[in-house]
């Protein structure tokens, strides 16, 4: 038989968050910056829309290439959320950490944990209640952000359509997962550390590792240092001058210039070397991309930013995805350009990121749960 | 009532509580005595279900704590030595949270909380607990221990931070609570307080039960059944002679004497010294510290 503990503890934790000065302060700063960013985004969006309309009318009579060009990307009001996604990875993350780092250590420091556990409640109700209270407070905060965003849009006379509204809610859900990820990390550290000071230090270390250190491993220089240089192109690709008649070679095609005759022919040896280079190069870059993707999956901020792009800036996300998969043309053809089908196709391509963004908080909350259940109360 | 059967708790191979057997009947105010590290707190934590025994068992009102901790916690009121509350909440809010955790209805909470705050002298205090003195927290701790109308109250060093008025209030509340049939377990190393409040006590040393019973029982056992009688008379008293008398020390020109007898022979002494005008005739209370330390040192030596 379960007691009423879970509900009571969750309600108390939720109220504590809402009454907390640090929550007011961080969330207040977040809101101010978000609103300013949104207003800026709305102004930019309106300018882009005007440019787009002008460009559309200008390219109507031009060739097809122009239609595929940058100017064919219809600006979206959701691009205003790009700035907010950057904000989420900084202040949103700090908000999550601030809400979680002392949830258990504060109870230990104030000696209230022993009293709390002397009540007729199960231990798991205590840690679950703390998590639930935090989840509810984060959800409320994200809800407030969405409502204010909507209000700002309406103030600018921009009414989102159904798809844009769905995308906004998805953005809110992703932001919730990001903040909850760091809340869960902080909660875990709160169960591990002896005091709140240590807990926040441990949490910041994990945050730096996940948000800054891991992405470094995806950088070219670090990867090159770890896994070696990319293959060199065949020597023949270098432009050379020399020999009789001023022969020069470029790429896999050799061009001989002798006297007044100009003839162009493919050198089989050069072509073979070039093909080998292409294969090696492709394998190298695919391996490098696979490592970068795998490392990125460990970082909630990387996953969040990738997914946030998919939701708020699908054109950019499509381009990033294409460039990472070495199949620009195929991807462009596979993923629809607009509508829900485009959204779901993109999210489908990013299923790994979605899974990672869900698993991270679940994993750290699981660790916090186990640690708290084994907590030695003396 | 409280019962411990071969209760043992071992931390890293070292027994904190070693084969403890206790039986505290309902309505008793029982003292748990012992120096730091004697196993008092570990025993209490096992009694309130916060830690599980390595072996043996403890029972509250006949319910085994380890097997049914939630049921037991409903019956227990607990106040730790370093009592802690939520600093940003008021006393009323802290008690309300506690009462909700006990599943008490709003109507019951509305009545009980002001009553308890009044009982411990915290009614009308509006500030948050973060601004409380240690004594005020201790008073609030006592109110919290009583919130669920427990059948067993366990108090760890309850008077450590109380002022004289607080101590008097605490004694009054404890007495009234025990009169209503509630069993009270008080863990302390303030011997005079235990002697004054508790009807019986047990001495723990190095996790082991050393001795137990009423304070007089403990003292007599320690002094091997000897009874020390203090006699004062208005005029010089005659020589006191009695077969049970082991030794007599006279002072103040035979107006004062300390008699050590094998039994309580005050009636016989009164008859013998009556003509000298008796001013004082009483059994000398054993020195609490001496008794406690003698048990403790004996245990340590063994």
Amino acid B165: pLDDT? 86
Q: What count of residues does chain B have? A: 302
Q: Which two tokens stand for residue B83?
A: 């009592």
Q: Which two tokens stand for residue A280?
A: 């090696």
| A103 in B contact zone (CB under 8 Å) | no
Distance of CA A218 to the CA centre of its chain: 14
The CA distance from A343 to A310, in Å, is: 7
Distance of CA B223 to the CA centre of its chain: 22
Report CB contact under 8 Å: A111, B82.
yes
**Nearest Cα residue in chain A from B103:** A4
In Å, how far is A149's CA from the nearest CA of chain B? Answer: 32
Is the pLDDT at A332 greater than 60? The verdict is no
| A126 in B contact zone (CB under 8 Å) | no
Tokens 């302060």 locate to: A25
Interface probe with A: pick from B68, B70, B140, most Cβ of A within 10 Å = B70
Q: Which two tokens stand for residue B280?
A: 């004082």
On whether the CB atoms of residues A108 and A195 are closer than 8 A, the answer is yes
**Which residues in B lie closer than 8 A to residue A115 (C-beta atoms)?**
78, 80, 83-85, 98, 144
Backbone phi, psi, residue A181, to 5°: -60, -50
The CA distance from B72 to B183, in Å, is: 14
Interface probe with A: pick from B78, B84, B131, most Cβ of A within 10 Å = B84
| B70 in A contact zone (CB under 8 Å) | yes
**Which residues in B lie closer than 8 A to residue A376 (C-beta atoms)?**
51
**Which residues in A lie closer than 8 A to residue B103 (C-beta atoms)?**
3-4, 120
- The partner residue sitting opposite A119, judged by closest CB among B73, B82, B83, is B73
Amino acid A254: pLDDT? 46
| A113 in B contact zone (CB under 8 Å) | yes
Q: In what order do the strands lie in the sheet with B278-283?
A: B245-251, B256-261, B227-233, B278-283
Confidence of residue A74 (pLDDT cuts 50, 70, 90): confident
List of chain B residues with pLDDT < 50: none
On whether the CB atoms of residues B257 and B241 are closer than 8 A, the answer is no
Tokens 């084994």 locate to: A374
| pTM of the shown model | 0.80
Under 8 Å CB pairs connecting chains A and B tally to: 69
Report CB contact under 8 Å: B74, A120.
yes
Report CB contact under 8 Å: B50, A117.
yes
Upper half-sphere CA count for residue B92 (Cβ side, 13 Å): 11
The CA distance from A219 to A226, in Å, is: 11
Q: Looking at beta carbons, which pairs linking A247-256 to residues 24 or more positions away fall under 8 Å?
A: none
Give just the sign of the alpha carbon dihedral A60, A64, A66, A71. Answer: positive
Amino acid A372: pLDDT? 95
In Å, how far is B212's CA from the nearest CA of chain A? Answer: 25
| B102 in A contact zone (CB under 8 Å) | yes
Rg (CA), chain A: 27
Q: In what order do the strands lie in the sheet with A253-258?
A: A248-250, A253-258, A261-266
The CA distance from B284 to B272, in Å, is: 19
Confidence of residue A183 (pLDDT cuts 50, 70, 90): very high
Q: Which two tokens stand for residue A261?
A: 């005759």
ipTM of predicted assembly, 2 dp? 0.81
Could you report the per-residue pLDDT of B67-99, keeping only the tens digit for each?
Answer: 999 999 999 999 998 888 999 999 999 999 999
Amino acid A321: pLDDT? 66
Instruction: Single out the residue of A313, A341, A320, A308 nearest to residue A78, CA to CA.
Output: A313
């Amino acid at each position: 038989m379960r007691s009423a503990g879970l509900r009571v503890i969750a309600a108390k934790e939720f109220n504590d968050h809402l009454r907390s000065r640090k929550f007011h302060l961080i969330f207040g700063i977040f809101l101010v910056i978000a609103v300013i960013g949104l207003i800026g985004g709305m102004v930019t969006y309106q300018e882009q829309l005007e440019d787009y309309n002008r460009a559309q009318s200008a390219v109507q009579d031009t060739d097809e290439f122009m239609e595929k060009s940058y100017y064919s990307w219809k600006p979206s009001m959701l691009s205003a959320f790009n700035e907010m996604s950057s904000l989420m990875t900084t202040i949103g993350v700090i908000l999550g950490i601030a809400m979680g780092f002392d949830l258990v250590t504060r109870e230990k420091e104030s000696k209230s944990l022993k009293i709390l556990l002397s009540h007729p409640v199960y231990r798991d109700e205590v840690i679950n209640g703390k998590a639930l209270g935090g989840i509810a407070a984060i959800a409320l905060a994200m809800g407030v952000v969405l409502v204010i965003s909507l209000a700002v849009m309406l103030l600018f006379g921009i009414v989102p359509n159904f798809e844009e509204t769905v995308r906004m809610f998805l953005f809110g859900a992703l932001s919730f997962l990001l903040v909850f990820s760091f809340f869960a990390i902080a909660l875990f550290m709160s169960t591990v550390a002896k005091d709140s000071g240590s807990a926040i230090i441990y949490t910041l270390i994990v945050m730096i590792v996940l948000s800054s250190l891991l992405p470094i491993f995806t950088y070219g220089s670090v990867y090159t240092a770890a896994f070696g240089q990319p293959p060199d192109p065949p020597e023949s690709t270098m432009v050379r001058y020399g020999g009789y008649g001023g022969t020069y070679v470029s790429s896999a095609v050799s061009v001989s210039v002798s006297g007044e005759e100009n003839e162009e022919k493919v050198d089989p040896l050069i072509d073979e070397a070039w093909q080998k280079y292409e294969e090696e190069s492709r394998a190298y870059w695919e391996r490098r991309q696979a490592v970068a993707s795998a490392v990125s999956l460990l970082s909630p901020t990387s996953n969040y930013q990738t997914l946030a792009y998919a939701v708020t800036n699908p054109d950019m996300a499509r381009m990033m995805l294409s460039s990472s998969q070495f199949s620009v043309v195929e991807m462009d053809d596979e993923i629809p350009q607009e509508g829900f089908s485009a959204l779901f196709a993109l999210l489908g391509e990013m299923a790994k990121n979605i899974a990672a963004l869900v698993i991270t908080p679940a994993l750290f909350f699981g660790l916090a749960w186990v640690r708290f259940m084994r907590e030695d109360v003396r | 009532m409280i019962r411990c059967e071969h209760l043992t708790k071992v931390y890293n191979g070292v027994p904190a509580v070693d084969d403890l057997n206790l039986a505290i009947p309902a309505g008793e105010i029982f003292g748990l005595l012992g120096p730091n590290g004697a196993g008092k707190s570990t025993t209490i934590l096992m009694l309130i279900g916060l830690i599980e025994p390595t072996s043996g068992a403890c029972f509250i009102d006949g319910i085994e704590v380890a097997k049914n901790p939630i049921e037991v916690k409903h019956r227990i009121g607990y106040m730790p030595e370093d009592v802690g509350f939520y600093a940003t909440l008021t006393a009323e809010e802290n008690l309300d949270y506690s009462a909700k955790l006990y599943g008490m209805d709003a109507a019951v909470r509305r009545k009980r909380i002001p009553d308890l705050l009044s009982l411990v002298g915290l009614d009308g205090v509006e500030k948050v607990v973060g601004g409380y003195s240690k004594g005020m927290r201790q008073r609030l701790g006592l109110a919290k221990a009583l919130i669920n109308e427990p059948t067993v109250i366990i108090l760890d060093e309850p008077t450590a931070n109380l002022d004289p008025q607080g101590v008097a209030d605490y004694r009054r509340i404890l007495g009234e609570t025990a009169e209503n049939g509630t069993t009270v377990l008080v863990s302390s190393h303030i011997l005079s307080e235990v002697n004054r409040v508790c009807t019986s006590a047990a001495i723990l040393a190095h996790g082991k039960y050393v001795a137990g019973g009423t304070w007089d029982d403990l003292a007599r056992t320690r002094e091997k059944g000897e009874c020390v009688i203090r006699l004062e008379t208005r005029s010089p008293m005659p020589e006191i002679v009695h077969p049970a008398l082991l030794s007599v020390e006279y002072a103040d020109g035979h107006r004062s004497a300390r008699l050590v007898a094998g039994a309580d022979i005050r009636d016989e002494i009164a008859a013998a010294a009556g003509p000298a005008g008796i001013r004082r005739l009483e059994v000398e209370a054993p020195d609490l510290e001496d008794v406690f330390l003698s048990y403790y040192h004996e245990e340590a030596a063994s």
